[in-house]
Amino acid sequence: MTNAPFTSTYRRSLDQPEEFWAEAARDIDWIKPWDTVLDRSATPVARWFAGGELNTCYNALDRHADGGRGDQAALIYDSPVTDTVETFTYSELRDQVATFAGVLSSRGVGYGDRVIIYMPMIPQTVIAMLACARLGAVHSVVFGGFASRELATRIDDCGPKVIVSASCGIEVSRVIEYKPLLDAAIELAEHKPDYCIIYQRDMLTADMQPGRDVDWQEEMAQAAPHDCVPVAATDPLYILYTSGTTGEPKGIIRDNGGHAVALKWTMANIYDVRPGEVYWAASDVGWVVGHSYIVYAPLLHGCTTVLYEGKPVGTPDAGAFWRVIAEHGVVTMFTAPTAIRAIRQQDPEGELANAYDLSKLRALFLAGERCDTNTLNWAGEQLDVPVIDHWWQTETGWAIAATCLGFEKTPIIPGSPGRPAPGWMPSVIRSDGTEAPHGEIGALCMKLPLPPGALPNLWNAEERFVTTYLSRYPGFYESADAGYIDEQGYIFVMARTDDIINVAGHRLSNGAVEEVLAAHPDVAECAVVGVADALKGQLPVGLLVLKVGAERTNHEVVSDVIAAVRHEIGPVAAFKAAIVVDRLPKTRSGKILRATIVRIADGEPWKMPATVDDPAIFDEIAEALATIGYPAIRE
């Protein structure tokens, strides 16, 4: 911790952004200095470090391997599903990456080419990502096991020269074959890759297509290492697809220069982590958190990063996260609130945390879903460290709001992800375009220009970029989140703007109702959605997952939470329906799939979301909703 005053630092980032970020950029090695720190004339948005050249892989690996950290652990691969722990030093990881860059180069991949990476949580995934960065190629990571049709749309959109995949992934106790899914996707896609490089895992050997598919291990055995290729700061480092409201995925672009500067800066200033320490983001590399805080930020900062192939529960129990922290000496952890809720549901008293030495842990950061105060407080009680909810998006690449631990100590306000981080200028805007006063819910928007690391565009879709993010509130980036800012400047993110429930003209956030439900002592996690009602327009419906060993019956808990919402929020909420379910439908990154729940409850045709963790969950939800009068029509 620097003990620097946060308020004056934040003010300087807004009043003197060029000077502020030029100072941060000195922590990155540049091949050629920038001509302009902030090119305000660029369209559709301003660009950072225009004219500069660097290589992200060099900054993440080579400068550490050659600068005194060669023997330090760079990557710890911890896989309870395969009973494997493997450590790569900075020198070892650099050499593996350089060799795989040689493999890609020998297969025709060069500067500006795209490579899709369709892989599980194994070291080869990280190696492939960094090898692309080394060559100046653009990687696009797709969750391993993603549905073929969804993978095909990404193949067609980014046009990869090569696809890198593995024979299989492992979900707790089942093996998922990737190759048949990949083959089907290529068959569906109009664009065809020149080659597929397949990493054969020990538990399953994939069938190979002669002439197109090549073996990872064989290619590595004969490849020559490849040096880092200079790229422009404004060149794309990666494309990461996120679901769009139109059904067509949006290809979020991340540039090289601003991305490296921002992420390096966050490690010390937001997370208060020092080079050489162990940092763990318990995420998936298919999600933005995995890109930013499993792969790039910790390595840019000279830390040891943990790559975990497992779950918060079931691999083998609800103490899995605590084991990893204890065994590897993790000082800062980052995960989704849903993971903590899953642990709490299985181990409500936190007994498993007491079985491990967690003395090195200094902080737990949460993001991905709004964190209710009960989950935040429970985690703090078990770990005895600050638990910090912070808010960001795939589009932003790093935190919009957080309690920044690298500065003087500031209060943590449960229910809020904190104040805006340096560089971010939030406003709450009403539907008529006027700015809302403190405490009033509206659209959370960021004044332009956005800081380094935020998306500069969508892949091959500039018009859609402008329409989606910049057009409704001119001069602002529209986050599509709704919330308010209090008089102290703390942001409260209450819902996605399309999750706001309109009950007889009263705007109700699902987050506010969920906060009341989550306060019940027997509720482990919950979700609230707005369903169609002929009289009031919409009515809120709650889904409850109870803790193991819950003392009250399902009927009693439902009665309790209905009464609590009436008392805490009032009759205006019209909250009269709730059901107990075994689990909630989520993406692999932990987000609750509320939109599909709404379609089921409204009796509208629905289809299986490509991002769902377990497809069987929606049949369970549909059956549960039917018991309270909400039929489902499956497409």
Give yes or no for a cis peptide into 437 (omega within 30° of 0): no
Residue 94: CA count within 13 A, CB half-sphere: 25
- Beta-bridge mates of residue 504: none
User: Same structural domain for residues 448 and 505?
Assistant: no
Residue 634 clears pLDDT 50, i.e. is over it: no
pLDDT at 618: 84
In whole angstroms, how far apart are CA 146 and each of 151, 188, 244? 7, 14, 16
φ, ψ of residue 113 to 5 degrees: the values are -70, 155
Per the structure, the count of domains in the chain is: 2
Q: Which residue type does 255 have?
A: D
Range of the domain at 206: 6-310+390-482
User: Which of 450, 482, 514 is the last residue before a domain boundary?
Assistant: 482
User: Which of 482, 517, 552 is the last residue before a domain boundary?
Assistant: 482
Instruction: Categorize the per-residue pLDDT at 259 as very low, low, confident or very high, splitting at 50, 70 and 90.
Output: very high
Residue 397 clears pLDDT 80, i.e. is over it: yes
Expressed in angstroms, the distance from the first to the final Cα of the chain is 54
Residue 520 clears pLDDT 90, i.e. is over it: yes
User: Same structural domain for residues 17 and 121?
Assistant: yes
* Rounded Cα–Cα distance for residues 485 and 508 (Å): 16
Identify the residue whose tokens are 């500065």. Answer: 407
pLDDT at 632: 47
Q: Does residue 379 lie within any of the structural domains?
A: no
User: Same structural domain for residues 176 and 269?
Assistant: yes
Per-residue model confidence as pLDDT tens digits over 534-553 = 777 788 999 999 999 888 89
Q: Could you tell me the two tokens for 201? A: 């895992």
Give pTM, 2 decimals. Answer: 0.87
User: Same structural domain for residues 514 and 468?
Assistant: no
Q: Could you tell me the two tokens for 35? A: 């001509």
User: Same structural domain for residues 450 and 529?
Assistant: no
**CATH classification of the domain holding 272:** 3.40.50.12780
User: Same structural domain for residues 67 and 132?
Assistant: yes
Q: Could you tell me the two tokens for 250? A: 């949006």
Structural contact between residues 556 and 583, judged by C-beta atoms closer than 8 angstroms: no
Q: Does residue 425 lie within any of the structural domains?
A: yes
Residue 337 clears pLDDT 50, i.e. is over it: yes
Per-residue model confidence as pLDDT tens digits over 74-98 = 999 999 999 999 999 999 999 999 9
pLDDT at 186: 98
Q: Which residue type does 181 have?
A: L
Per-residue model confidence as pLDDT tens digits over 345-382 = 999 999 999 999 999 999 999 998 788 888 999 999 99
pLDDT at 592: 82
User: Same structural domain for residues 557 and 449?
Assistant: no
Give yes or no for a cis peptide into 414 (omega within 30° of 0): no
**CATH classification of the domain holding 513:** 3.30.300.30
**Residues 213-222: what's their mean pLDDT?**
98
User: Same structural domain for residues 279 and 244?
Assistant: yes
Per-residue model confidence as pLDDT tens digits over 398-408 = 999 999 999 98
φ, ψ of residue 295 to 5 degrees: the values are -95, -65
pLDDT at 472: 94
Q: Does residue 152 lie within any of the structural domains?
A: yes
DSSP β-ladder status, 442-447 and 476-485? antiparallel
pLDDT at 68: 97
Instruction: Categorize the per-residue pLDDT at 613 as very low, low, confident or very high, splitting at 50, 70 and 90.
Output: low
Contacts of 472 (CB under 8 A, 6+ apart): 443, 478
User: Same structural domain for residues 132 and 87?
Assistant: yes
Taking all residues of the chain, what is their mean pLDDT, rounded to a whole number? 92
Q: Does residue 619 lie within any of the structural domains?
A: yes
pLDDT at 499: 67
Q: Does residue 380 lie within any of the structural domains?
A: no
Q: Does residue 369 lie within any of the structural domains?
A: no
Neighbour count for residue 51 (Cβ, 10 Å): 16
Instruction: Categorize the per-residue pLDDT at 633 as very low, low, confident or very high, splitting at 50, 70 and 90.
Output: very low
Residue 159 clears pLDDT 60, i.e. is over it: yes
In whole angstroms, how far apart are CA 546 and each of 421, 561, 601? 35, 12, 21
Per-residue model confidence as pLDDT tens digits over 271-303 = 999 999 999 999 999 999 999 999 999 999 999
pLDDT at 330: 98
| Pick from 297-306, 430-439, 577-586, 597-606: least confident | 597-606
Q: Does residue 609 lie within any of the structural domains?
A: yes
Q: Does residue 374 lie within any of the structural domains?
A: no
User: Same structural domain for residues 449 and 508?
Assistant: no
User: Which of 449, 482, 515 is the last residue before a domain boundary?
Assistant: 482
* Rounded Cα–Cα distance for residues 553 and 460 (Å): 53
User: Same structural domain for residues 302 and 399?
Assistant: yes
Per-residue model confidence as pLDDT tens digits over 111-137 = 999 999 999 999 999 999 999 999 999
User: Same structural domain for residues 477 and 572?
Assistant: no
Sign of the CA dihedral 581, 583, 587, 589? Answer: positive
Structural contact between residues 288 and 454, judged by C-beta atoms closer than 8 angstroms: no
* Rounded Cα–Cα distance for residues 198 and 284 (Å): 20
Neighbour count for residue 355 (Cβ, 10 Å): 11
